[in-house]
A and B are shown apart, each in its own frame.
Chain A
């Protein structure tokens, strides 16, 4: 079974530029999560999708971050414009459904904002 795929693996941009990350969850998984992991911290949930609907985006900085999951499969997370404090690893995870189901994580995208 293929795992969660993410691209790119690494990205370096200047502040005020825009960037997009892509995630392909495990086939058949209805729930998709985007996490932000700043160095030395644990992952922090940014947004959770159930199929193509948003379940929780309470911690997503909506003035600069946006995410979509068209057709309930792949998802993209965008930052526009980026700030220095956005430097982090962005992790995508998926699970069979919401609730007490194991979340499977992708390898993450390491973003550096200079």
Chain B
């Protein structure tokens, strides 16, 4: 039973355009959400997070939107750059211990 779902295994975007990566969750107890980025042969690196008390968080070219009623969050990258090509994981947490539940990831390809 997947509690965090990333339904698009891959996404291809032209350089300079917007990339939108989507994530859905099922557990109402989740109150903290994160996006991680992973390059081949490296561990995931933290990108951006959002608490359930907010509906938007912005950091440079990266913005995460949270729609609690729909149990949906999205990551917007504007403008997309070839160096953004990586696998993006959505993760959620609902406990005080900080345990993360990850989605399966979306592979983003940004074409020059």
Contact = CB atoms under 8 A, between A and B. Distances in A.
B53 interface: no
Interface stretch (A14-22, A71-79, A94-102): A94-102
Contact of A42 (B41, B96, B102): B102
Interface in A64-113: 91, 93, 95, 98-108
Size bin of chain B's contact surface: 20 to 34
A44 interface: yes
A98 B97 contact: yes
B100 A103 contact: yes
Interface stretch (B43-51, B59-67, B73-81): B43-51
A114 B104 CA distance: 25
Contact of A107 (B32, B41, B49): B41
A45 B99 CA distance: 8
Q: Give the bracket for the number of chain A residues in contact with chain B.
A: 20 to 34
A100 B93 contact: yes
Contacts, number: 56
If over half of B's interface residues share one DSSP class (helix, strand or loop), that class is named, otherwise mixed; here it is loop
Nearest to A44: B102
Contacts of B6: 42
Interface in A13-65: 31, 40-45, 48, 55-56
A103 B97 CA distance: 12
Contact of A105 (B44, B49, B96): B44
Which of A40, A48, A100 is packed against the most chain B CB atoms within 10 Å? A100
22 contacts: A4-B43, A31-B98, A42-B4, A42-B6, A42-B91, A42-B103, A42-B105, A43-B102, A45-B99, A56-B99, A93-B43, A98-B96, A99-B98, A100-B49, A100-B93, A102-B46, A103-B46, A103-B98, A105-B36, A107-B42, A107-B43, A108-B43
